[in-house]
Structure 1
Amino acid sequence: MDKMSTDALPLAMSSPEKRETVCIFGTGDFGRSLGFKMIQCDYHVVFGSRNPQASSLLASGAEVLSYAEAARRSDIIILTIHREHYSFLTELTEVLNGKILVDVSNNLRVNEHPESNAEYLAQLMPKAHVVKAFNTISAWALQSGALDASRQVCVCGNDSKAKQRVMDVVRNLGLTPLDQGSLLAAKEIENYPLQLFPMWRMPFYLSAVLCVFLFFYCVVRDVIYPYVYEKEDNTFRLAASIPNRVFPITALTLLALVFLPGVIAAILQLYHGTKYRRFPGWLDHWMLCRKQLGLVALGFACLHVLYTLVIPIRYYGRWRSRNATITQLMTKKENPFSASSAWLSDSYLSLGILGFFLFVLLGITSLPSVSNTVTWREFRFVQSKLGFVTLILCTAHTLVYGGKRFLSPSALRWYLPSAYILALIIPCTVLAIKFILLLPCIDRTLTRIRQGWERDTAAVKPAVNGKSDI
């Protein structure tokens, strides 16, 4: 008996572990990509197809059978077909009873049907366990190796055991499953891939409104006003000069709007004396869009840098330089060197360079691939502390640009101040309020509130204690 056990031992150890079989209905791009990924992760994949002979594009190691034959090989069947083709499943009702049907389909439009595709599938196959999954990840991400946010797979279903098995498959593929609850969540999950830049809409709309307003504002001051009073044609400024004023103002304003919701939130917490009261919906959405606002602002700042670099090669700049040189030669006069003007010019350039450097640093650290490598304290230090330093430098850059002309009456045209003065309104307001919030008496109270202290609770406590003592 011992000999038999000893002889059987090498055979047991050498036998390979049985691989789990997964069935995939459909041999399109997503089905092939998912099958290839599963084979890489040591799954045995069986494809169900209406044309089992068309298997040349599939990964080696996968079998291609008819729908009925493939369904009998596995308890988990992933449907990589469109909703309009679900009708053929009714012919397989007996084979699919008790199986786990994973619906990965999406629609062409948001809320295209009254019910979600997964709920429709559950109505067709009432005795099967329908789970919604894999619809939030693309075939390209499966082929190239999913990274960062594309690793997340939303999963929902009414049967907890079936949902857990699908989530185990997701984990084995190196992805991150997110349990979204029952099948009622399928409609929201199906609408999610159809949303076009949901968190970018407010930054895009806001930046578009700012650009249009500032563009027409500069046109009135720099094109229409000189033409009305001096018959001077300055329309050439529409191509470069005016955009190079609009872009930096938009960038600075958007940067200030990144920090303004945090300041407003701090004021509300001080006013209510607690951190456990919900912010208004508009403020919540604003705070969620801060990263996108900052990246759009960085884009406008980059455009400003590029436009500034081409100033020396513009025709207008070269024409002014040549005329100034010829005028000095003819009049035999030399412009005296001004130390104060040199200080202003060099300070303006230095503040701009430092501000842009920190601006780029903020943008880089906001990328998931970078932010995942730093601790929360490091991320907060860069985004908050260095963020306000960036705002200070960029605001100072604009202030120095104005120089002595800042409050000069001659700068007014039709009672309209220079455009750069408009750029200072929101940043200076944010910095002034932030300075007030940093005062020790206010900062100490705000810190206590954010640590859980509540003003109303603290006021009631002595009375309660007094009553208990009596």
Structure 2
Amino acid sequence: MEKPFLKETSFAMKMSSSHNQETVCVFGTGDFGKSLGNKMFQCGYSVVFGSRNPGLSGLHPKGIEVLSYAEAARRSDLIIVAVHREHYNFLTELAEELNGKTLVDVSNNLKINQYPESNAEYLAELVPGAKIVKAFNTISAWALQSGTLDASRQVFVCGDDKEAKQRVMDIGCTLGLTPMDQGSLKVAKEIENYPLQLFPMWKFPLYLSAALCIFYFVYCMLREVIYPYIHEKKDNTFFLAISIPNRMCPGVALNLLALVYLPGIIAAILQLYRGTKYSRFPNWLDHWMLCRKQLGLVALAFAFLHVMYTLVIPIRHYVRWKWSNSVISQIKTNKTNPFNVTNAWLSDSYLALGILGFFLFVLLGITSLPSVSNTVNWREFRFIQSKLGYLTLILCTAHTLMFGGKRFLSPSILRWYLPSIYVLSLIIPCMVLVLKFILLMPCFNQPLTRIRQGWERNLKGSKKAQLGNGNTGV
């Protein structure tokens, strides 16, 4: 009886030998074509290049041939087309040679939706007898050459022929990549647009944080710089360097954290109102929910800035000047300020809540990293991001409330009838926490749970149906 280990070894040897026997043709000797061909050659494939200049064989490792397009096409039934779309016309002359063969389109464009159809679909029109597969366009020549595929390991594959597509995916696995089957060739345009997108999920969080920064900065400047200058002729312009950013950053961080959880609450309210989960959310809400991770990471960045600004407060010239003047005035009057236990409690509580809130904030950021989130199951990830996320929001909101202390509703803090910035910062977080508390009440939580399990409310009132077969929904 053959041992399992020997079976696995013999299977691996067969796979390796099959790679050695298989010949792959690469049309194009540019940076990407050369890098991809050399990588396949290192992984055990026999590689032949097709080029309009066959005399370039000296640029490739020994064992790789560079032939004309027609000669190279005869050597393999799998051809990687690594040339730009504007040079595809030569393929029509090779239509007979390419008939029935697999052509892998790896091209990209210079801008999104540059052509009416995708490059892969255009290639299918030029060579109708070939099996067209779109793949490898999301990795770079530098990553293939240097071997640093960690940041670009995932590749998208699409095509109408299942066998050809599976063959290309097997090559991707052999190269150490992670191929993802995206479906038919109609998806090729979306795959080609993907490398051209510039932080698509980050635009909304960055624009929103920029808008909040501008608003808080102008608001603080009105209160802390312009108002004292007009009423007291005091020059507080130096506040623009440390004081105002240290008031602005925590407000932005707290509001962005609250906005991470607000779309989930809005979605729950919509599901309760509609009585079903089988109805699309508005596009703006869909996009907002997809950007929650990025919103949280931007909020964490502003929280880090707040911590850094706070740590430098004791070494500021203005603060040292105030402390020294206070000490000198007490010496001259021979009096000391009595110790206030209430203020001590407020100060220590404010600091303790801030430390705990920031710790959980960092924990949320760490668990959002793919390398960490992949090591936990769905229930653990949901517990951290939802339960601990709301606890973080509560602690950070309480931190801001404690900072205001007895001054929170005092008329003395108003300037031009404008409250302090930390009062404004509490509006959205408090609203989110109140709405979440309401949704946790049994009268709302139980129907919402049933809806997310597939139950639907018949709006006509004639019947209630149970659907979904145990699907918990989103």
1:53 deviation in Å? 4.1
- Contact 2:160 2:185 (C-alpha < 8 Å) held by counterparts: yes
Change (3 A) 1:16 1:250: closer
Alignment counterpart, residue 239 of structure 1, candidates 233, 238, 241? 241
Alignment counterpart, residue 144 of structure 1, candidates 144, 147, 155? 147
Q: Which position in structure 2 is the counterpart of 1:437?
A: 439
Q: Which position in structure 2 is the counterpart of 1:322?
A: 324
Aligned residue runs from structure 1 range 305-316, under 5 A: 305-316=307-318
Task: Letter of the 2:175 partner, please give it.
Answer: L
Deviation >4 Å, runs of 4+: 13-18
Alignment counterpart, residue 370 of structure 2, candidates 356, 361, 368? 368
Q: Which position in structure 1 is the counterpart of 2:285?
A: 283
Q: Which position in structure 2 is the counterpart of 1:420?
A: 422
Task: Letter of the 1:104 partner, please give it.
Answer: V
Alignment counterpart, residue 409 of structure 2, candidates 399, 407, 410? 407
1:461 deviation in Å? 4.4
Q: How far apart, CA to CA, are the structure 2 residues paired with 1:187 and 1:442?
A: 43
Task: Say what the alpha-carbon RMSD is for the aligned residues.
Answer: 2.3
Q: Which position in structure 2 is the counterpart of 1:77?
A: 79
TM-score normalised according to structure 1 size: 0.90
Q: How far apart, CA to CA, are the structure 1 residues paired with 2:21 and 2:82?
A: 22
Q: Which position in structure 2 is the counterpart of 1:229?
A: 231
Q: Which position in structure 2 is the counterpart of 1:447?
A: 449
- What secondary structure does 1:242 align onto? helix
1:32 deviation in Å? 3.0
- What secondary structure does 2:303 align onto? helix
1:457 deviation in Å? 8.6
Q: Which position in structure 2 is the counterpart of 1:468?
A: none
Q: How far apart, CA to CA, are the structure 2 residues paired with 1:265 and 1:191?
A: 30
1:170 deviation in Å? 2.5
- Contact 1:214 1:419 (C-alpha < 8 Å) held by counterparts: yes
Q: How far apart, CA to CA, are the structure 2 residues paired with 1:405 and 1:20?
A: 77
Q: Which position in structure 2 is the counterpart of 1:396?
A: 398
Task: Letter of the 1:311 partner, please give it.
Answer: I
Per-residue Cα deviation, 1:55-100 (whole angstroms, up to 9, x for no partner):
4554554333333322221111111222222233344333323322
Per-residue Cα deviation, 1:177-208 (whole angstroms, up to 9, x for no partner):
33333333222221111111111111011101
Q: How far apart, CA to CA, are the structure 2 residues paired with 1:312 and 1:55?
A: 67
- Contact 1:35 1:59 (C-alpha < 8 Å) held by counterparts: no
Q: Which position in structure 2 is the counterpart of 1:106?
A: 108
Aligned residue runs from structure 1 range 154-303, under 5 A: 154-303=156-305
For structure 1, the residue ranges without an aligned partner over 5 or more in a row are: 1-12, 464-470
Q: How far apart, CA to CA, are the structure 2 residues paired with 1:90 and 1:33?
A: 26
Q: How far apart, CA to CA, are the structure 2 residues paired with 1:328 and 1:59?
A: 83
- Contact 2:458 2:464 (C-alpha < 8 Å) held by counterparts: no
Q: How far apart, CA to CA, are the structure 1 residues paired with 2:58 and 2:405?
A: 72
Q: How far apart, CA to CA, are the structure 2 residues paired with 1:86 and 1:462?
A: 59
Sequence identity (%): 73
The reply to whether residue 94 of structure 1 matches residue 87 of structure 2 is no
Q: How far apart, CA to CA, are the structure 1 residues paired with 2:464 and 2:202?
A: 49
For structure 2, the residue ranges without an aligned partner over 5 or more in a row are: 1-12, 466-474
TM-score normalised according to structure 2 size: 0.89
Per-residue Cα deviation, 1:112-166 (whole angstroms, up to 9, x for no partner):
2232222222233233222211112223443435347x33322223334333332
Q: How far apart, CA to CA, are the structure 2 residues paired with 1:315 and 1:57?
A: 63
1:458 deviation in Å? 11
Q: How far apart, CA to CA, are the structure 2 residues paired with 1:460 and 1:137?
A: 55
Q: Which position in structure 1 is the counterpart of 2:10?
A: none
Q: Which position in structure 2 is the counterpart of 1:3?
A: none
1:459 deviation in Å? 5.7
Change (3 A) 1:57 1:368: farther
Change (3 A) 1:245 1:60: farther
1:375 deviation in Å? 0.6
- Contact 1:32 1:59 (C-alpha < 8 Å) held by counterparts: no
